[in-house]
Amino acid sequence: MKLNFLIVGDWGRKGTPGQRSVAAGMARIAKRFESRFVVTTGDNFYDHGVSSLDDAHWRESFENVYTSPALQIPWYIVLGNHDYQGCIQAQLDYTKTHPRWRLPARYHAVEYAIDATASALLVFLDTTPFVASYRAESPEFMESLKDQNPEVQCAWLRKTLSVSKAACKLVFGHHPIYSASPFHGDTLELQDGLLPLLHEYGVQAYICGHEHDLQHLVVDGVDYIVCGAGAEWRTTGWRDHSRCSASTLGFSAVSLTSDCLYVDFYNDQGRRLYSLEKPLEPLAKAVALNA
């Protein structure tokens, strides 16, 4: 058995040609592999989030774009910095009336069975409050950020990771911990706040957006996936830790078995560009089997 799902990031641009092209590619792959759900890596609505539950953005950027039957599945939402320029509460409230939209809190987690012997923990973080420059230089963020404490979120993450017996632990955020792109690059605050927890609790991969490209980097045994090309792309870069950097529209597809994590990059035409195969540690599987 397999657990299959898609990832798309930096996507909500009112149905631009690039966004619709990626949506069509996602529909083809979701149908082919019977994807169970979609994960977003943030910046769900450009440029200034949504203003309310009645904002036309909901229709123009979501409901009227991802119309394929194969995409009428749960969408687990991560918030991005552009979402913070609008009404975060509206994105939270949309969950209550639209079952496809899954954002019960600014950060949240869900566990899915891979098969009868193993499960996967998916953790969705809210990384914008970690970035000091938004508080110091961007007044438009302050209203939504003022009550958000990164230390509280880190404590929640530690507890969530520590109690889970999942064979695979994947953490999603918007900002990259590591990135080879010349546009944004590494997020030092996440290296300080999140990185120790990823190593301490055996997280296999951290998956994000923010950079409008597709990247795979490996640092100290953890895989870092950047998937932020859901509506537009920028020229990316390369560094010693890079395994793939693609300047293209696209998305990712994940497939999990009880002993392996597979991540594929696809362009907007649904053509596979790159594949990652990461065996899961036997110790992690043993914990899941004995749960």
Catalytic positions are 184
Q: Which long-range contacts (CB under 8 A, 24 or more apart) does 190-194 make?
A: 190/127, 190/130, 193/130, 193/150, 193/154, 194/125, 194/130, 194/154, 194/157
CB 14 within 8 Å of CB 60: yes
Closest to 9 (Cα-Cα) out of 131, 132, 152, 179: 179
In this structure, which amino acid lies at residue 86? Answer: G
Distance CA 170, CA 114 (A): 13
Cα gap 247→267, rounded to integer Å: 10
- CA–CA distance, 199 with 207 (Å, rounded to integer): 15
- What DSSP character marks residue 61? I
Work out whether strand 205-208 and strand 214-219 pair parallel, antiparallel, or are unpaired. Answer: unpaired
